[in-house]
Amino acid sequence: MFVRKAGEYVYAREAPWIPNPGKRGQPAKNDPRALAICLMLKIWLGKPYRDLVSFLSGSRFLWPIIGLKILPRRMDLQRAMNRLTRDYLDGLNGFIIEEGYYRKKEGRRRPVLSTAQASR
């Protein structure tokens, strides 16, 4: 659910950077927005880059939802984090707090069972 909502949020905005400006260097392997979703997932899960790459390699069903073409490497994710602007990060942070953190907490709450008062 979080990944789907993150995808809607990120793909509704413009890409955080232009991959391969002027056609210099290697062609981009993944859309910058897909990497931004991966970084949101990293923050939401509270995992380091290596663990996120392992998680994504075992969760290929998420790739179409995220928009990944190939599995990003650890350094791809670290470079993507360095390329994000402060404004973009503030927007992502607001989304994670509103949609991710509090919704995750709400899901953990268990209903409190009421007990009938004992009669004397």
Q: State pLDDT tens for residues 40-59.
A: 888 888 899 999 999 999 99
pLDDT of residue 113: 44
Of residues 68 and 119, more confidence is placed in 68
Inside any domain, residue 77: yes
pLDDT of residue 104: 54
Name the band, by pLDDT with cuts 50, 70 and 90, for residue 27: confident
- Domain count along the chain: 1
- Tokens standing for 7? 């995808």
pLDDT at residue 7 above 60?
A: yes
DSSP string, 70-113: SPPPHHHHHHHHHHS-HHHHHHHHHHIIIIIIHHHHHHH--PPP
Query: Per the domain annotation, does 74 fall within a domain?
Result: yes
Query: What confidence score (pLDDT) does residue 110 get?
Result: 47
Whether 45 contacts 55, CB under 8 Å:
yes
Q: What pLDDT is attached to residue 118? A: 52
> Residue 82: exposed, middle, or buried by beta-carbon count in 10 A (0-12, 13-18, 19+)?
exposed
Is 40 among the domain residues? yes
Is residue 117, in this structure, part of any structural domain at all? no
Which domain does 59 fall in, by range? 2-15+29-108
Of 101 and 26, the structure prediction assigns the larger pLDDT to 26
76 located within any domain: yes
* Residue 114 lies inside a defined structural domain of this protein: no
Within-domain flag for 23: no
120 falls within a domain: no
pTM of the model: 0.72
